[in-house]
Structure formats: structure tokens, C-alpha cells
């Protein structure tokens, strides 16, 4: 049995980053953890059309893994198909955005989200509104970098510092969330630089998946 982290875009670079981000967590997991790339997905999920378009192939991909799965993690900050996968699967299903927000609220009073693009923000607002957590949101500000552009680590980290500082100092965020699975490499250094907790959503969701699997084993 395995915890499957499904990256709904087709970028292997993003999947490799997820693997590295969760690697320190493997020792705490009662089952293996494997990240998978959805070949049918776009290179980056940046629009509502992208979000909607990956749901059916992600459901089919996950259905083929059901018998070997202990849990699923949907590794896109838009949590595409989260409710549908929960209906389909008998396993725990975690979305990285939902998990990141819930984790952030245990570490601070007001969280800030660092998004990839300004056009991502209305999508996030709809989701946060549905979660009922808008009163805990300090702000959501974009890097204005697409998913594939995040591979330029020097430029990305400079933008992360700028946007993170704005959320901390101007919006009053006391905890920050990296709003894309393509930002996995930057959590630790950004947290040290800014002096506030920084949540990497794939780690947050995987930690919850490990907990769910472990609890099920001790019933």
C-alpha cells in the first residue's frame, strides 16, 4: 500500500520537486510515498479551464491506483477534483490547498498566500470563501511568474522575498503559504529569511495523509 501524491500537471520538474520536499517525511510514514505526474495535464495549471480539464484524467489515473493506495494527495493549489475524488475513492483524499490553510491556522492568526499569477487569486478567493476562512486571510499576492518560470530559482526566490515581505509587513500575515506545488524548493530558506512560519502545501497534505494512514492502522 502506498500514499500517492498526484501532480495534475505534466511537468516532471514539479513532480521531482514534490519528491524532494516529502523525502524527509518518508521515515515517519507507515507506507511508501510516491509522487506521480499526470501526463494528460497541461505543463502548469494556471487557469480555471486548466483546473476543470484535469479532473477527469486525474480521476481515471487515481482509479487505476485505488487497490494499491493507502491515501491520495492532490498536488495542485487549486485542489482540482478534490470532492469528486473523495466521492470516487474509499481512501483518504487530501488537497494541498485545504491542508495548507488548515495547517497555517494552527501556526498563526492571519495567513498570507503567495500565488503564482494575479489571475489565480479570484480562484483562491472562491475556495477560501467556501472553506469559511476569509476572516483569517491577511492577503493573497502574486509573484507574476508562471509554473514553468518557477524553475529559475534565483529569480523566483527574489520574488518570494519581495512578496512575502509585503504580506508580512503590510498585510499583517504571521504565517505564509506557498501557493503552488512548483515552489517546494523554497520553504526553508524563505522561512529563515522572513522569520515567520512558511507552509509548503505538499508537505502539509502529506503529513495529514501519513496521520490518517497511521490512525487507521491502530484501530
Task: Tell me the CA distances in angstroms from 90 to 82, 85, 93, 218, one per residue in order.
Answer: 13, 9, 9, 18
In this prediction the pTM is 0.95
Q: Packing angle between helix 96-104 and helix 201-217, nearest 10 degrees?
A: 90
What is the four-CA torsion angle of 176, 179, 182, 187, rounded to 10 degrees? 10
User: Are 116 and 166 in the same domain?
Assistant: yes
- 8 within 8 A of 41, measured Cβ to Cβ: yes
Residue 105's domain comprises: 98-201
**Claim to verify: residue 13 and residue 58 sit in the same structural domain:** yes
What is the domain-level CATH number for residue 89?
3.40.50.12500
Cell of 134: 476569509
Report the pLDDT value the prediction gives residue 219, as an integer from 0 to 100.
65
Question: Are 108 and 150 within one domain?
Answer: yes
Per-residue pLDDT of the chain (219 residues; tens, 9 = 90+): 999 999 999 999 999 999 999 999 999 999 999 999 999 999 999 999 999 999 999 999 999 999 999 999 999 999 999 999 999 999 999 999 999 999 999 999 999 999 999 999 999 999 999 999 999 999 999 999 988 899 899 999 999 999 999 999 999 999 999 999 999 999 999 999 999 999 999 999 999 999 999 998 776
Amino acid at each position: 500500500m502506498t500514499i500517492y501524491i498526484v501532480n495534475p500537471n505534466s511537468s516532471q520538474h514539479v513532480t521531482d520537486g514534490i519528491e524532494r520536499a516529502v523525502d524527509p517525511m518518508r521515515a515517519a510514514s507507515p507506507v511508501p510515498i510516491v509522487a506521480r505526474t499526470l501526463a494528460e495535464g497541461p505543463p502548469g495549471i494556471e487557469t480555471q479551464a486548466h483546473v476543470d480539464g484535469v479532473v477527469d484524467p486525474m480521476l481515471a489515473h487515481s482509479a487505476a491506483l485505488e487497490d494499491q493506495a493507502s491515501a491520495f494527495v492532490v498536488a495542485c493549489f487549486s485542489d482540482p477534483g478534490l470532492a469528486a475524488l473523495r466521492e470516487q475513492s474509499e481512501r483518504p483524499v487530501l488537497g494541498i490547498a485545504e491542508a495548507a490553510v488548515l495547517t497555517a491556522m494552527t501556526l498563526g492568526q492571519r495567513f498570507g498566500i503567495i500565488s503564482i499569477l494575479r489571475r489565480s487569486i479570484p480562484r483562491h478567493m472562491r475556495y477560501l470563501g467556501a472553506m469559511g476562512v476569509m476572516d483569517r486571510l491577511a492577503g493573497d499576492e502574486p509573484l507574476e511568474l508562471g509554473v514553468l518560470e518557477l524553475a529559475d530559482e534565483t529569480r523566483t526566490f527574489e520574488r518570494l522575498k519581495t512578496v512575502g515581505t509585503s504580506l508580512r509587513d503590510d498585510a499583517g500575515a504571521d504565517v505564509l503559504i506557498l501557493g503552488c506545488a512548483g515552489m517546494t524548493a523554497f520553504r526553508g530558506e524563505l522561512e529563515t529569511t522572513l522569520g515567520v512560519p512558511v507552509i509548503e502545501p505538499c508537505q502539509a497534505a502529506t503529513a495529514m495523509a501519513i496521520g490518517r494512514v497511521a490512525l487507521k492502522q491502530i484501530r
